[in-house]
Structure 1
Amino acid sequence: MTIAEHIAMLARMEAARRETHAHLRLIERQIVARAERLITTFRARSRDYRKSRSTWSHADEQLYQATLSELAFSRHREVDGLTRKLARQDAAIAAFRRRHGLSEADPEPDMAGLRAA
C-alpha cells in the first residue's frame, strides 16, 4: 500500500467514527428533547411570565430528572452499543496510525520528503 492509500483508509476510518459519534449525540439529544416535552405537557399549567420569576419549578426539575433517567435507561442498550463501537473505532484508528507512522496531529505526512527520497 502506498502512503496515499494509507491516508485514504485513515480518512474513511475517521469518517465512520464521526458518523458513529454523531449518531450517539443524536440519541442523547432525542432523549433530552423527549423528557422536556413530556414534562412540559405533563406539568402544563398557567405560567407566570414576569421577568423576575422562573417558569421552571423545583418539582418540575425533579420530575424532569426522573423522566430523563427512565428514558435513558430505556435506550441504554443502544447507547452502550454505540459507546463500545466508538471505543473500538478509536482503538483501531490509534493502532492504524502507530502501524503506519501517521501522527495524531498531522494525518498527512510531509509529501515533499517522500518525493525527494
Structure 2
Amino acid sequence: MAYVVTDGCIRCKYMDCVSVCPVDCFYAGENMLVIHPDECIDCGVCEPECPAAAIVPDTDPGAGAWAALNAEYAAKWPNITEKGAPPEDADAWNGRDGKAALFSPTAA
C-alpha cells in the first residue's frame, strides 16, 4: 500500500505534507504534488497534515486513476523535500469539486 495525492491538491498545493514525510517521496508539478508509490513507506503521517484532505491510501475508492497519475508524474517531476509557499489563491480553491480538469502535466 502507498498513499496517493488526489485532485483535492490541484490549485491548493499547500505542501504541509512535504515537511513531515520521512522518506521525501513527494514530487512537484505546476499545480499539485504527487507521491512516488515505490518510495512511500505507508507511514501515513502526510494524510492528516493535508489541509485540502487530498491524500488518501491507494486502497481508498477515490484513489483509482489518481494512483496511476501519481506513479506516472513522480517519474517525471522534480522531487521536493521542503515545504514551499502555496499559491496565493490556495484557500479559494480548497474544497472545490471538479478540479481534475485543471490538472497541469507541467513540472514545477
Do Structure 1 and Structure 2 share a fold, with TM-score over 0.5?
no
Highest CA radius of gyration, 1 or 2? 1
The higher-RCO structure (CA 8 Å, 6+ apart) is: 2
Give the structure-1-normalised TM-score.
0.20
Q: TM-score, normalised by structure 2?
A: 0.21
